[in-house]
């Protein structure tokens, strides 16, 4: 009998139980309810015992964020896998799917996409910065964008129109994006992923994320009688900016199947 393997499996099971309990507390009661004391009470153990598995409350929350974003990426990937093999159709379905998930998983969205995890102005651990490109959500989103870049002629800004102060940052981002796309099989010629294209992708994500955040937190500047139509108008505006017609929503309205 391999006792070390049994011990390792036992530890992994306990870690999963801890995170599962933490996520249940998050969804049912909010971020403030996710305390070590509450988790221990639910599991019938002492709070100090949790430190054998996670070094701190912050360590546990970091692992919980990874669980949430992994689940989101896997759900979206499964959803678009059922769609036609068309980069634009799948990409805009991802945008809509992300919004549907955010509106129906507001506390998980808040934990992952709206909780500061770094110093002000950097948020180095925040998925919202698209720094989490190696995680399933970021990888799925960027791989789909890569398919669009590979199969469509887009209206991207010239490199010399990119603000000079951003060029060094965008060059690093471009190299990281290229590596992610290459690992997924989407190898693009350098001309297809230049600074202008990278700048466009960041602006697209910022607009999408900003709109969804305003909706999730009820902070849109005016009351919306038809939020779905407003979001479709946003996608239409963004698609016109890049010179790509936005496909119809093949997954239905906001109350679609991403639960």
What mean pLDDT is reported for the chain?
Answer: 84
Task: Supply the pLDDT for residue 4.
Answer: 64
Task: Supply the pLDDT for residue 100.
Answer: 96
Name the residue among 201, 202, 174, 199 with its Cα closest to residue 188: 174
Q: Highest mean pLDDT: which of 99-103, 185-189, 193-197?
A: 99-103
Q: Mind giving me the DSSP string for the chain?
A: --HHHHHHHHHHHHHHHHHHHHHHHHHHH-GGG--HHHHHHHHTS-GGGGGGT-SSHHHHHHHHHHHHHHHHHHHHHHHHHTS-S-HHHHHHHHHHHHHHHHHH-HHHHHHHHSS--SSTTT-TT-GGGT--TTSHHHHHHHHHHHHHHHHS---PPPGGGS-HHHHHHHHHHHHHHHHHHHHTT----GGGSSHHHHHHHHHHHHHHHHHHHHHHTT--SS--S-HHHHHHHHHHHHHHHHT-PPPP-SS-STTSS--
Q: Assign a CATH topology to domain 68-242.
A: Tetracycline Repressor; domain 2 (1.10.357)
Task: Supply the pLDDT for residue 190.
Answer: 79
229-241: average pLDDT: 93
Task: Supply the pLDDT for residue 123.
Answer: 41
Task: Supply the pLDDT for residue 127.
Answer: 43
Per domain, the residue ranges of the chain are 8-55, 68-242
Q: d(Cα 51, Cα 53) in Å, to the nearest integer?
A: 5
Q: Highest mean pLDDT: which of 44-48, 87-91, 104-108, 186-190?
A: 104-108
Q: 8-55, which class in CATH?
A: mainly alpha
**What angle is formed at CA 207 by the lines to CA 238 and CA 205, rounded to 5 degrees?**
90
Task: Supply the pLDDT for residue 6.
Answer: 54
Q: d(Cα 6, Cα 83) in Å, to the nearest integer?
A: 42
pLDDT at residue 230 above 70? yes
Span 64-122, pLDDT tens digits: 998 998 899 999 999 999 999 888 899 999 999 999 999 999 999 999 988 765 433 33
233-246: average pLDDT: 89
37 — pLDDT class (breaks 50, 70, 90): very high
Q: What is the largest CA-CA distance in the chain?
A: 65
- pTM value? 0.85
Q: d(Cα 11, Cα 15) in Å, to the nearest integer?
A: 6
Which residues, 6 or more positions from 234, have their beta carbon under 8 angstroms from its beta carbon? 207, 208, 211
5 — pLDDT class (breaks 50, 70, 90): low
| Residue positions counted in the chain | 259
pLDDT at residue 130 above 50? no
């Amino acid at each position: 009998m391999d006792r070390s393997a049994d011990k390792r499996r036992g530890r992994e099971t306990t870690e999963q139980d801890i995170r599962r309990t933490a996520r249940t507390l998050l969804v049912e009661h909010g971020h403030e309810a996710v305390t070590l004391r509450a988790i221990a009470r639910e599991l019938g153990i002492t709070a100090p015992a949790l430190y054998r598995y996670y070094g701190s409350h912050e360590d546990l929350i970091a692992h919980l964020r990874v669980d949430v974003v992994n689940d989101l990426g896997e759900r979206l990937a499964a959803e678009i896998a059922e769609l036609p093999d068309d980069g634009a159709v799948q990409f805009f379905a991802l945008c809509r799917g992300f919004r549907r998930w955010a509106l129906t998983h507001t506390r998980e969205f808040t934990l992952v996409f709206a909780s500061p995890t770094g110093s002000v102005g950097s948020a180095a651990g925040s998925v919202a910065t698209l720094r989490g490109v190696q995680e399933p959500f970021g990888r799925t989103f960027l791989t789909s964008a890569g398919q669009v870049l590979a199969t469509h002629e887009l209206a991207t800004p010239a490199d010399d129109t990119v603000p000079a102060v951003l060029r060094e940052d965008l060059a690093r981002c471009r190299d990281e994006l290229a590596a992610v796309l290459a690992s997924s099989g989407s190898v693009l010629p350098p001309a297809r992923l230049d600074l202008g294209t990278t700048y466009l992708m960041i602006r697209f994500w910022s607009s999408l994320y900003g709109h969804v955040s305003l909706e999730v937190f009820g902070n849109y500047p005016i009351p919306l009688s038809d939020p779905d139509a407003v979001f479709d108008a946003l996608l239409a505006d963004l698609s016109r900016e890049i010179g790509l017609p936005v496909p119809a929503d093949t997954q239905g309205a906001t109350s679609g199947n991403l639960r």
